[in-house]
Structure 1
């Protein structure tokens, strides 16, 4: 299974209703099978009992695609903490994959979803590899967390290179200290795809649907130093 997640820093001045309408209009322009053309869409999501998150789901005709999204409460105090846990997000889970389908998802459709959500970061999670990776490199992550100059947070750091990712201009600067053009320069010829997207960079690190965990770790070990990541 592959899970596509797109994340956005909530805009305090934009209501959940306006944000949902904005996403809906953009998702209608996304190519099939991920676009929302002709689909029955839920109303603007209301907040859960906790009053902090509003969840929504869009049911796809294909049983192979499952969708979920959520927004956070537009409250200055609640959103004051600069942490990825307060991101708005949408996810798309794809249960089966073959080489043509998988390549198309990473090379064509995922960038469209990133743009439709106006994401600042996006991740293609491959099976449970991220969990295994954190367990394998637990000591390195622990040491990183103890450094006073590092905030291990999805808005500030990049610890894992997933099969495909998007980083906006601000995240590039926070996590690596340089912009998207330098990312492109460093990765060109070393990955299946690296290109500008919005004000950031979109990277496909590996498009093999049969990727093993050892291979996942191997390209992380090889390419993180290229980017100056720990």
Structure 2
């Protein structure tokens, strides 16, 4: 089974992207078990790009069963705004035939959240559902004039999720501490990480109709119903 793990970080205008990349790669290199080489900082290839974006390819250094990299938003003057177009990304593609799911989501996922200083992170297991959701998100964002895909809302609760306090307040109308309190006893894992909430809905990846059932359940709990 293939799973995508996506991590989004709010870009800051005055950051030096090359220096930021070195810091992030250094932090990631300390996560146990995901890299197959010791000198990660030297081996990761960073592409500064032309100023609109930059990226770092992590795949040559990652263990078998994990591929991915980091993409950085444009830091051009005036380009940064409170919108998902100003997000930095880490995207990791997981092959669950080669790596242990629970090890990744319980140990590695939250460590990447902290290393990357992400404000939202999820796993995605159902490509067809993702395509269907994307079309609905675009229409809803247009109608509500909100960035529902990233900074203003949560359209779909996934198998594994991290939302910082700002996103919790925008998406659910409550802070991350209250999200933790409401979810305790209703999900497989829930705990605070930094200024946000990390939770796993079940001990296995969820796809198909079960995704919709869990999504509805979690949103009902967060709404206090």
Do Structure 1 and Structure 2 share a fold, with TM-score over 0.5? yes
1:31 matched to which residue of 2? 32
Offset of 1:41 from its aligned partner? 2.2
2:112 matched to which residue of 1? 113
SS at match of 1:219: helix
Q: CA RMSD in A?
A: 2.5
2:43 matched to which residue of 1? 41
1:13 matched to which residue of 2? 14
C-alpha separation between the residues in 2 aligned to 1:143 and 1:87?
A: 20
The number of residues matched between the two structures is 221
State TM-score, norm by structure 2. 0.87
Matched, 1:170 2:171: no
Offset of 1:47 from its aligned partner? 1.1
| CA separation of 1:195 and 1:36: change in aligned 2, threshold 3 A | farther
SS at match of 2:89: strand
Please show how residues 133-212 of structure 1 align to structure 2 within 5 Å: 134=133, 138=136, 142=139, 145-147=142-144, 150-209=146-205, 211-212=206-207
Comparing 84-93 with 125-134, which one deviates more in the overlay? Answer: 125-134
| CA separation of 1:43 and 1:105: change in aligned 2, threshold 3 A | closer
1:220 matched to which residue of 2? 215
Structure 1 contact 12–74 (Cα < 8 Å) conserved: yes
SS at match of 1:154: coil
Gaps of 5+ in 2: none
Offset of 1:78 from its aligned partner? 1.2
Offset of 1:84 from its aligned partner? 0.9
Structure 2 contact 12–80 (Cα < 8 Å) conserved: no
Gaps of 5+ in 1: none
C-alpha separation between the residues in 2 aligned to 1:7 and 1:151?
A: 14
| CA separation of 1:225 and 1:129: change in aligned 2, threshold 3 A | farther
Offset of 1:83 from its aligned partner? 1.2
